[in-house]
Amino acid sequence: MDANQLAPTPPRKRTTEVEGALGAYFRFQARLSRICLQIAVFGLNVILCAVLYQIWGRYVMNNSPTWTEILALVVVLYVTCLAAAVGVRDGRHIGMESILAYAPERVKIWADITVYLGMIAFGGFMAYGAAILTDAMWDYINPGLPISQGWSYVPLVLGGILIIVFAIERIVARLNNLEIVPSWH
């Protein structure tokens, strides 16, 4: 083996250090991701309040509110889909990094791109299928909460679109040898 093959790869430049149009693109993506995280955290608080109100109504007041369970179920879908999309952007998805640790850098790059192309396909199918379900269920009203049942499928459409958007960002960053700064920093 040659000494150059054993040398560690140089640290990658961070997306926060990029200037120009590409820098603006990464800043927009970071802001979008941060907003998704903030909405997800707000949603978690809504779920907590709904569940606490359900417990209060059922065990203290002996008059269980019916709308809290449906609200919590719908909000869980929003929280999950937004957080999953942010997980794609931040690279927090399940990966097989141990296998690629010994591969040449060129193989690592194309393996990453292949994974993100798969995520783009998954996000596209998810958004398309959920859009069909949203349209089909829009006229039906939830029995306990007077909103359309279509609202239960909207987060899947949004999540699929965001997965595509964030996977494209990961590919652009990888091709430019850039490290994406996580949303929560």
Sequence-distant (6+) residues with CB within 8 A of 87 are 93
Sequence-distant (6+) residues with CB within 8 A of 133 are 150, 153, 156
Tell me what pLDDT residue 3 has: 47
Contact 74, 43 (CB under 8 A): no
Tell me what pLDDT residue 1 has: 46
Amino acid at 160: G
* pLDDT digit string (tens) for the chain, length 185 residues: 444 454 455 557 887 787 899 989 999 999 999 999 999 999 999 999 999 999 999 999 999 898 999 999 999 999 999 999 999 999 876 665 667 778 888 888 898 899 999 999 999 999 999 999 999 999 999 888 899 999 999 999 999 999 999 999 999 999 998 999 887 76
Contact 98, 180 (CB under 8 A): no
Tell me what pLDDT residue 10 has: 58
Q: What is the DSSP letter of 179?
A: E
Domain locations in the chain? 19-179
Backbone angles phi, psi at 139, to 5 degrees: -80, -10
Closest-CA residue to 77 (of 180, 177, 156)? 156
